[in-house]
């Protein structure tokens, strides 16, 4: 292991009591954690169980994801390049990822603990290497108020190395009797493990003794030392060892008597079977996974495989995921832990029968809807069917022409016209009603020569974190103003209007109650203008980082003002409508003052989620309009879609991410796909934080011109 360079913890605290607790089985070789580690070599059942669990955990693929704002797993974005991902894939020069996790899982299953020591580069705060260490060599140092002060590692040569908290990542199964250490299944069955080992030792000695039980030479008198030594030497020369088995014993004095206990009497086969079952019970291990065929058939064998994956492997992977997300990622900074998370591919085998039944059920339901006249896209979205399916309702075939009448026969009477089929109503749409919905990559325009149609690496190389940070700050600021000032003013206006209606001073119907939103629109306009200016500056910085010189351009102030007025009016109408509905609901039979108080309380308790969505969409609009205005002023730069700004990425957004949309000389496609805020086909609609980035090629930069 490379020398650890982080500062050391002074270990003035006594060794914790928990670390001095040892096994009380006097015959079980090494005591404590070391004895638990050696159980794998002392018992075949323990070896078989641990040797199946540890590789199964170790071979699982780990992936790093950028978290989604929605919190849903399906909205996460996989990250393929990150130093934390590189670290677990190559933890140190001598360990691979699988060896790291297999070694650590062995430690965890045998002792309930799997510590890693983290090595750092001198002068840097980022982890360099991970080393799995034996749990028996690591001792926690309690702190009187902070739980832990650090750790002490005892090296093989006896040196005690103090370690700080950030130098140890400790994965443990909780021990109810010791808050500092872990507890594994082996601790619960140490007696059974030793009993099985002792039975095996007895069997070995039985065969070394010629497969004969021991006995006693009974002498009727006391022997002198010289006589005793002569008798023992002659007996060993003639009868000791397998090669001298079954010789007739000739005794000058004394009588041979067999011992009463035989191998059958001891029932060692049953004893070892009971020990095996006890160990499997402690681990919760299915019998068939150890190759035991008694009472096992194909059916319960397959169930055993599912139990193994679901109840043995998955809980251990969940512990490792918790360790990676809450102990490893924070070593890269709080922002990293907040934005990213590790997760694994589930090892539980899929139930093909259930999958096929669900697929068939969806197909039949889809056919029913399509036959009823619903559009294929709405059915696909409602049933969450794959995007790869192409929904085309077959055109109705014309009715066959009536047969020609036979010569000289009477003409056939005309067939009655079929009754017109009623057109079913269209299902309600919950997406943008634009004719270009569900844009596919194949539908996007082809880029000019020399411009790649997809360039994800170049797009993700553009640092948009400052853009997201400015947006979050702007939304938080306008939201605070909205809740603290704007909404309170609206509530006061609504209460006064409602009071006038109840007194009879105003004949306005409740349904038409309104508030003045001009002040709110001005506040929102000012916030949008400030964010637009910063967004334009960010485009300039992005261009400069690629070697291009451009100037910031903000959208026309009138456009921002129109957006602000529309957004403020919509939110004001929401409060007005809510006040009118509540007043109409409670007004009959209540005094006017109580109606007023209840409506005010209702408005005070109204969720601000609607306002937050509206304000966030308006700020996204201002930000993207400024980005488009700045890029529009640049001669012929390639514009690409970037859909990982806020980590909330749906399937349509993932499909367009990194895709060339247009060049700045003609931004028709940009205006079509990003008309105001984010991507037009985003399933999150106004919540989309997608944007456009400019990618300068070498010939377009100052370095290229030189």
| 346-362 per-position pLDDT tens digit | 888 765 555 666 777 77
Query: Cα–Cα distance between 233 and 216 in angstroms, integer?
Result: 16
Closest CA to 266 of 331, 218, 328, 200: 200
Query: Cα–Cα distance between 223 and 229 in angstroms, integer?
Result: 9
Query: Cα–Cα distance between 490 and 182 in angstroms, integer?
Result: 58
Query: Cα–Cα distance between 76 and 70 in angstroms, integer?
Result: 9
Q: In what order do the strands lie in the sheet with 160-163?
A: 138-143, 147-154, 160-163
Instruction: Determine contact, residues 578/603, Cβ cutoff 8 Å.
Output: yes
State the pLDDT at residue 57: 94
Query: Cα–Cα distance between 290 and 302 in angstroms, integer?
Result: 13
State the pLDDT at residue 220: 67
State the pLDDT at residue 442: 46
State the pLDDT at residue 140: 95
pTM of the model: 0.46
- Residues of the chain with confidence (pLDDT) below 70: 1-31, 122-124, 195, 199-200, 202-221, 223, 238-274, 288, 291-304, 350-357, 372-373, 375-377, 386-443, 646-648, 684, 686, 698-706
State the pLDDT at residue 304: 67
State the pLDDT at residue 515: 85
Instruction: Determine contact, residues 661/639, Cβ cutoff 8 Å.
Output: yes
CB atoms within 10 A of CB 686: 16
State the pLDDT at residue 536: 92
State the pLDDT at residue 309: 84
State the pLDDT at residue 382: 72
Query: Cα–Cα distance between 417 and 605 in angstroms, integer?
Result: 61
Query: Cα–Cα distance between 536 and 543 in angstroms, integer?
Result: 11
State the pLDDT at residue 425: 43
Query: Cα–Cα distance between 60 and 316 in angstroms, integer?
Result: 11
State the pLDDT at residue 402: 53
């Amino acid at each position: 292991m490379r020398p650890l360079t982080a500062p050391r913890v002074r270990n003035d605290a006594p060794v914790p009591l928990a670390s001095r607790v040892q096994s009380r089985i006097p015959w079980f070789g090494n005591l404590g954690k070391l004895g638990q580690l050696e159980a794998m070599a002392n018992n075949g059942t323990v070896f078989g169980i641990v040797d199946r669990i540890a590789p199964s955990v170790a071979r699982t693929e780990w992936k790093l994801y950028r978290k989604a704002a929605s919190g849903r797993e399906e909205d996460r974005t996989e990250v393929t390049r990150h130093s934390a991902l590189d670290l677990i894939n190559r933890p140190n020069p001598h360990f691979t990822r699988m060896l790291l996790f297999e070694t650590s899982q062995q430690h965890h299953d045998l002792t309930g603990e799997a510590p890693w020591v983290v090595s750092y580069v001198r002068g840097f705060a980022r982890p360099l290497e991970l080393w799995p260490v034996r749990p028996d060599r690591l001792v926690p140092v309690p702190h009187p108020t902070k739980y832990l002060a650090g750790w002490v590692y005892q090296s093989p040569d006896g040196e005690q190395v103090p370690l700080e908290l950030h130098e140890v990542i400790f994965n443990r199964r909780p021990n109810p009797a010791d808050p500092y250490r872990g507890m594994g299944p082996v601790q619960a069955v140490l007696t059974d493990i030793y009993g099985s080992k002792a039975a095996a030792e007895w069997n070995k000695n039985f065969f070394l003794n010629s497969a004969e039980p021991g006995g006693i030479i009974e002498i009727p008198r006391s022997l002198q030392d010289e006589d005793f030594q002569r008798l023992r030497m002659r007996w060993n020369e003639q009868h000791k060892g397998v090669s001298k088995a079954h010789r007739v014993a000739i005794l000058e004095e004394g009588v041979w008597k067999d011992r009463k206990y035989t191998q059958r009497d001891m029932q060692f086969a049953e004893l070892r079977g009971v020990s095996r079952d006890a160990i499997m019970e402690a681990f919760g291990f299915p019998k068939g996974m150890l190759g035991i065929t008694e009472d096992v058939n194909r059916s319960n064998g397959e169930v055993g495989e599912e139990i193994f994956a679901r109840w043995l492997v998955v809980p251990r992977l969940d512990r490792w995921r918790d360790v990676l997300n809450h102990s490893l990622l924070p070593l890269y900074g709080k922002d990293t832990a907040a934005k990213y998370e590790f997760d694994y591919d589930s090892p539980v085998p899929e139930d093909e029968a259930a999958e096929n039944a669900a697929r068939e059920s969806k197909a039949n339901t889809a056919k029913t809807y399509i036959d009823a006249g619903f559009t294929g896209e709405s059915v696909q979205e409602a049933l969450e069917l794959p995007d790869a399916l192409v929904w085309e309702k077959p055109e109705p075939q014309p009715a066959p022409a009536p047969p020609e009448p036979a010569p000289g026969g009477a003409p056939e009477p005309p067939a009655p016209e079929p009754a017109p089929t009623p057109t079913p109503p269209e299902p309600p749409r919950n997406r943008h009603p634009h004719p270009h919905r569900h844009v596919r990559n194949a539908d996007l325009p082809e880029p000019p020569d020399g411009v790649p149609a997809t360039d994800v690496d170049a797009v993700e190389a553009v640092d948009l974190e400052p853009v997201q940070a400015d947006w979050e700050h702007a939304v938080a600021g306008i939201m605070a103003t909205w809740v603290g000032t704007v909404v309170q003013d609206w509530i006061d206006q609504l209460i006064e209007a409602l009071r006038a209606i109840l007194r009879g001073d105003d004949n306005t119907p409740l349904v038409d109650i309104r508030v003045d939103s001009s002040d709110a629109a001005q506040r929102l306009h000012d916030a949008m203008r400030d964010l637009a200016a910063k967004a334009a500056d960010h485009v300039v910085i992005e261009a400069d980082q690629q070697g291009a010189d451009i100037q910031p351009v903000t959208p026309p102030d009138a456009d921002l003002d129109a957006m602000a007025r529309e957004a403020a009016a919509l939110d004001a109408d929401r409060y007005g409508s809510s006040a009118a509905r509540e007043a109409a609901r409670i007004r009959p039979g209540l005094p006017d003052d109580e109606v007023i108080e209840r409506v005010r309380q209702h408005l005070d308790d109204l969720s601000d989620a609607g306002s937050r969505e509206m304000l966030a969409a308006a700020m996204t609009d201002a930000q993207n309009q400024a980005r488009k205005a700045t890029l529009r002023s640049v001669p012929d730069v390639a514009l690409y879609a970037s859909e990982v700004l806020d980590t909330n990425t749906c399937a349509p957004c993932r499909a367009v991410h990194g895709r060339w949309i247009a060049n700045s000389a003609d931004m028709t496609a940009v205006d079509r796909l990003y008309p105001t805020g984010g991507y037009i086909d985003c399933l999150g609609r106004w919540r989309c934080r997608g944007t456009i980035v400019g990618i300068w090629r070498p010939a377009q930069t100052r370095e290229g011109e030189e």
